Structure 1
């Protein structure tokens, strides 16, 4: 091959090399179009999603607006009903003339009620005064009964004082004479000593309990002639005889002096009967002390003392103490001279006769309570 021909392949090679760069732009252009298409599709999807979200938002807003409209319609209907009710009430209201007439009737009714209340208070006040005066008379009668039946000075004083308080509340000058007699009765009652009957009753009860523990007379053999000494000198037989006589001395008593009373020996049922008689005598004395019966009280104490002297050992300390207490209680008063309330009762009744309502109330039922006062309570 010649040198002129050798360079041709190189030129062909050189000429063929520039063809490769012509393919590269077409490939990059295709890739760019694909990427643009993808971006355009993604943008379309985004625009479609945004549009769908806008549609949903609009639908939700429309539903909210519809609910607000329905609520407004309900409120409108409620306002219409309320307006209708107000209209009906306004139509039912009286007119100005009717209101004036009703106001006048109300004023007349209030005036009538006030007059009726005043009349009722006047009637009740008079009735209360009458019943209080009748109660004063009843209290005075009850005080007189307490004095005559029980000789209870304290209760009678309280009752007379209550009657005087009732008259003082009346503030009536015409009650001066009645109050004067009541004051005299109160002074007489307060100057009268009240015996302690309850204390006497309790003391006699304590003596009754003490009498159940008293010992009877116990005979004792007294060797004044030296008989026991002579028997004791005989030896053992004499000692046995002396012991036997000592035992017999507890069951038999020989008194050679005829001027002395022979006291019976007590044992068994006879001792129980004597103790029962003593207890009954003290119990009767209790009754006399409680009821203010001086004769019964003194007689019962004397009977109890006689039983003690006759059947119990006077040398016993318990018997001596019991006798001393009986003598002391016998000197205590159980009955008092009570004042007479007849003059005070007569003066009060004379005052009630000058008060017709009080006299009628007292004649109707003097022991009842005040009905006006109970109604007020």
Structure 2
């Protein structure tokens, strides 16, 4: 009986050691499986992010082409107006006797035409009204009852512009330009290189030592977005935001309310999806865009042209005479 007890204790100790080894192996297996699942999930998310970046890059290229085309169209219109004014000036050199009367009519016509172009290109009703007033003052120098119908038509156009409810388009364009200057300062979540340790920390537990020696690196990201971005991806996201703000500026200058609204929504979506919400500058830009998106830019711009038509009729009558 005395010899059997040590043997039983040895057997119990051996079984306990085997059970401990089995538990450790099972824990290692479970940790490895979990690590592989996390690695697979992160790899899938990164692949999806690459597809989104490619889509954003294509959309940005398309928007830039549209902006260039619109700017080219504006330049052509301004060039056409300049050529017309040059022709009018050249016609003045051919004026013979009594030429001052025709000169004043041509000057009034050029001012009325410029007012219409200014309203169409920049939506600046106040500037257009000043040009119409200058045209009326030019006709007033003739001191002739024959110009009263043209002056009456100019007065009607000026009243239309005065009564129209206008948005400070130029102020909004400048404000969007200021927001574009802040895009480079906004915080974007970026990938950080994992710290490498040549030797395990002597104060950490054996379990952490085992995890540090595993060939799998596990990173955990709380939440779906925004994901950490590489330097190139962050640059593309900033470029996308800048492109949306530029589109909003162009839409304002062209009086396209729906295009302006869509550009503001695109900028807000980009901010919400890719930029850090805890950054004060991001929050400020979100609130600014929300306020600007609610501005009433959809009102119909006043239609003028009565004065220009009346002046052209007066010019034809002078030519027939």
TM-score (norm 1): 0.49
Q: Matches of residues 21-100 of structure 1 in structure 2 within 5 Å?
A: none
Question: Against the structure 1 CA distance between its residues 141 and 312, is the aligned structure 2 distance closer, same or farther, given a 3 Å change threshold?
Answer: closer
- Which residue does 2:139 correspond to in 1? 167
- Tell me if the contact between 2:248 and 2:263 (Cα under 8 Å) persists in the aligned partners: yes
Aligned equivalents of 2:247 and 2:313: distance in 1?
44
2:162 to 168, 190, 195: 190
- Which residue does 1:321 correspond to in 2? 284
- Where does the alignment leave 5 or more consecutive residues of structure 2 unmatched? 1-94, 192-202
- Which residue does 1:231 correspond to in 2? none
- The reply to whether residue 299 of structure 1 matches residue 262 of structure 2 is yes
1:130 to 94, 99, 102: 102
Q: CA RMSD in A?
A: 3.3
- The reply to whether residue 348 of structure 1 matches residue 316 of structure 2 is no
- Cα displacement string for residues 117-161 of structure 1 (whole angstroms, at most 9, x for unaligned residues): xxxxxx977211122122212222222222233323233212211
Give the count of matched residue pairs: 212
Aligned equivalents of 1:250 and 1:302: distance in 2?
36
SS for the counterpart of 1:212 is: helix
Question: Against the structure 1 CA distance between its residues 280 and 347, is the aligned structure 2 distance closer, same or farther, given a 3 Å change threshold?
Answer: closer
- Which residue does 1:279 correspond to in 2? 242
- Cα displacement string for residues 158-185 of structure 1 (whole angstroms, at most 9, x for unaligned residues): 2211221122221212322222111111
Say which is worse superposed, 284-293 or 316-325, in terms of deviation. Answer: 284-293
2:114 to 124, 136, 142: 142
Aligned equivalents of 1:128 and 1:289: distance in 2?
40
Say which is worse superposed, 298-307 or 338-347, in terms of deviation. Answer: 338-347
Question: Against the structure 1 CA distance between its residues 180 and 262, is the aligned structure 2 distance closer, same or farther, given a 3 Å change threshold?
Answer: closer
TM-score (norm 2): 0.56
- Tell me if the contact between 1:146 and 1:152 (Cα under 8 Å) persists in the aligned partners: yes
Aligned equivalents of 2:229 and 2:217: distance in 1?
14
Aligned equivalents of 1:170 and 1:209: distance in 2?
51
- Which residue does 1:310 correspond to in 2? 273
- Where does the alignment leave 5 or more consecutive residues of structure 1 unmatched? 1-122, 220-234, 256-260, 361-377
SS for the counterpart of 2:229 is: coil
- The reply to whether residue 253 of structure 1 matches residue 221 of structure 2 is yes
SS for the counterpart of 1:302 is: helix
Q: Matches of residues 175-254 of structure 1 in structure 2 within 5 Å?
A: 175-217=147-189, 236-237=204-205, 251-253=219-221
SS for the counterpart of 1:132 is: helix
